[in-house]
Amino acid sequence: MRSRLVLAGLLALAVPAAAQTVDTTGAGRLIDEGMQRSEVMKNLQYLSDVIGPRLTGSAAARKANDWTSAQFKSYGLDSHLEQWNFGLGWSRGPVQFTINAPFTRNLVAHSWAWTDGTGGKVLTGPVVRVDVTNPDSMAAYKDKIKGAWLITANPTPIWNPDGPVMSAADSAARQELMRRAFGGPPADTSEAARKARQQLAIDRPYLLKQMGALGQLQDGGKEQGLMNMSGSPYAVSPLPRVVIAHEDYAMFDRLIKMGQVPRISGSIVNSFTRAAVPQWNTVAEIKGSDKPGEVVIVGGHLDSWDLGTGTTDNGTGSMTVLEAARILAKSGLKPKRTIRYILFTGEEEGLLGSVAYAQQHAAEADSIQAVLILDNGSGAITGMSLQGRSQDAQLWKDLFAPVAPLDSFVVKDGNKGGTDHLSFIPYGVPGWNYDQITRGYNHTHHSQVDTYDHAVARDLMQASTVMAVTAYELANLAELLPRGAKTPVTPRVVIPPSAGLSKK
């Protein structure tokens, strides 16, 4: 009850966002620094090509923490690392697969993260299509599962980008195929049914391994042999699970439907740590001159997947945050509120680093002016989706006004999912993720071609500058923005692995 009364009081005292005047003084100095003397590409190249992929829990992730903290300090900011607790560490080892039938050739494959390997043994068997949606269906396929590599889902529908333009009928048909591939909403939406589905998802790989499955194949989900990597310590699996190119996955599915029996051989070496490992967020700030206890957070995630070098997801976002800090520091301008720059880890495994930060700083939530995140690739900022805060539409139009020469910015209703701003919204903090030009992000992210070659220099200079300007303006507003609704936050629990996992 007390927290509700405090919240009500804050809402009553807060000035409506549309009524606040945006002070654009100094924006020209920030734009000049950001567009004329940028260091974003130099830093991005070092992060991508020297430090390389930064899987959460790896030594490279910590190296990136230390390097970015040193960079912030070199720009004159105070910086430190804040620890949070991660699940088990996981290391990817060598993988080798071949197709044995109906013809012979190599099969490119990558382990799904936080899944076990074969211990280096070569496992050979047929590729079979099975239904593992519930215990009864698994039992019905028991004889087919034993000694086989499993396909458990429809191929992802892929549209040839060089083919004819997609018609309305094509689009509708593709949507139906997508629904079949990924399933629709569950028939039973009760809490008991939800928990049962969650428990089955945890138990399924253990049950399949007990039934003698060799492993599970995962559709890469992208065209032209690109992979879509993921995984989490919340879904540790003792059953080998490998991502293969969509083209190969779809071919296996077609062969099975024809009555043919594909056969493959595979060897995988992966390992897990014996216990949970600590991880860190890199935190830096420029102290506010008038209201240092109130904070604007500018952030992106520093961790990445490890097939490429994590450039567009999210080296670009984290280096624009670093550059936005450099721009303000070099301009000599002093924000009225503190601006805090945070490079989160654990984003790829479920926003874990930002969730931990928001929980650790929950008592400060009512003094956080806003959280601004960049996490959609190499493209320039094009505007803002309001995340349900339609009252802030005019505010964002005013915030973008000084940077209008850099683009035509669009402020629109819409919710952005899957990025670190979401971790703060349950605490009532206004949180946003900038809209960006796509620039091939859906191809590069999570894939083996997520590399420096796909970074767009002028776009990242623009994005860094826009972040610097809008953060500075938010820091200088007369009042705090109205708080959003507060909702309960349930901590996630890492499910402990079985004793049979490969350890290091």
Cα gap 285→340, rounded to integer Å:
4
127 forms bridges with which residues in the sheet?
Answer: 149
Given the residues 33, 285, 347, 348, select the one marked as catalytic: 347
The SS3 of residue 198 is helix
How would you classify residue 346: left for phi > 0, otherwise alpha for psi between -120 and 50, otherwise beta? left
Single-letter amino acid code for the residue at 437: I
CA R_g for the chain: 24
Q: What sign does the dihedral 335-471-347-108 (CA atoms) show?
A: negative
Output the DSSP codes for 209-235: HHTT--EEEEE--SSTT-----B-GGG
H-state helical runs in 183-315: 191-210, 246-257
Three-class DSSP category at 99: strand
Please give the single-letter amino acid code of residue 483: R
Is 347 catalytic? The answer is yes
Residues in Cβ contact with 115 at an 8 Å cutoff, skipping those fewer than 6 apart = 205, 231, 236, 237, 239, 240, 241, 270
Q: Residue 48: which of 337, 499, 449, 427 has the closest Cα? A: 449
Burial of 205 (0-12, 13-18, 19+ CB in 10 A): buried
| Identity of residue 413 | D
- Give the tokens for residue 171: 């689009």
Q: Is 101 helix (H, G, I), strand (E, B) or coil?
A: strand
Compute the distance between CA of residue 138 and CA of residue 127 in angstroms, rounded to an integer: 16
Give catalytic residues, as residue numbers.
347
